[in-house]
Amino acid sequence: MNKKLDPQLLEFAKIMRQNATDAENLMWQLLRAKRFMNLKFRRQYVVKPYIVDFYCHEIGLVIELDGSQHGTDDAIAYDAERTQFLEALGLMVVRYWNHDVLGRTDVVLEHLRSVCTELKNTSP
């Protein structure tokens, strides 16, 4: 999927990994090293032309964490377009608000577990 990627896009993804939000850092600690359901997740992963927050190739899952800037009309439209593009590639996109990741981590993980279980059961 990611053959011949734009070096600038890869560099930007690297910068984003180094400047992660508190919610992204927490989620990464929960997902990294196959800690969550023995699934391998990548962070700030390039799915051209986008960089997604977290990606699991095995089950085709994209996880996006959204801060308040995602509540504007322009951001809502952009996110919808982006989700449509990713879903056209056969990926499932789930979105969580940063404040939920930080303040209701158990609820987020419970939902994520059910999504991952469903995807694992329908994967070829």
Instruction: Confirm if 45 and 7 have CB atoms less than 8 A apart.
Output: no
Domain membership of residue 73 (yes or no) is yes
In a domain, 66, yes or no: yes
Q: Distance between CA 52 and CA 42 in Å, rounded?
A: 9
Amino acid symbol at 124 = P
Closest by Cα among 102, 78, 83 to 94 = 83
Domain count along the chain: 1
pLDDT, block means (10 residues), the chain with 124 residues:
72 88 97 98 94 97 88 86 97 97 98 98 80
Q: Tell me whether residue 69 is in a domain.
A: yes
Instruction: Determine, yes or no, domain membership for 99.
Output: yes
Domain that holds residue 66: 21-42+53-122
Q: Does residue 70 lie in a domain region?
A: yes
Whether 61 and 43 have beta carbons less than 8 Å apart is answered as no
pLDDT given at position 1: 46
CA distance linking residue 10 with residue 26, whole number of Å? 23
Kindly report each contact of residues 78-86 with a partner whose C-beta sits within 8 Å and lies 24 or more positions away, as own/partner: 82/50, 85/50, 86/47, 86/50, 86/52, 86/62
Question: What is the pLDDT, as a whole number, of residue 69?
Answer: 76
Domain-located, residue 4: no
123 within 8 A of 60, measured Cβ to Cβ: yes
Asked if residue 87 belongs to a domain, the reply is: yes
Q: Is residue 48 part of a domain?
A: no
Q: How confident is the model at residue 53, as a pLDDT?
A: 97
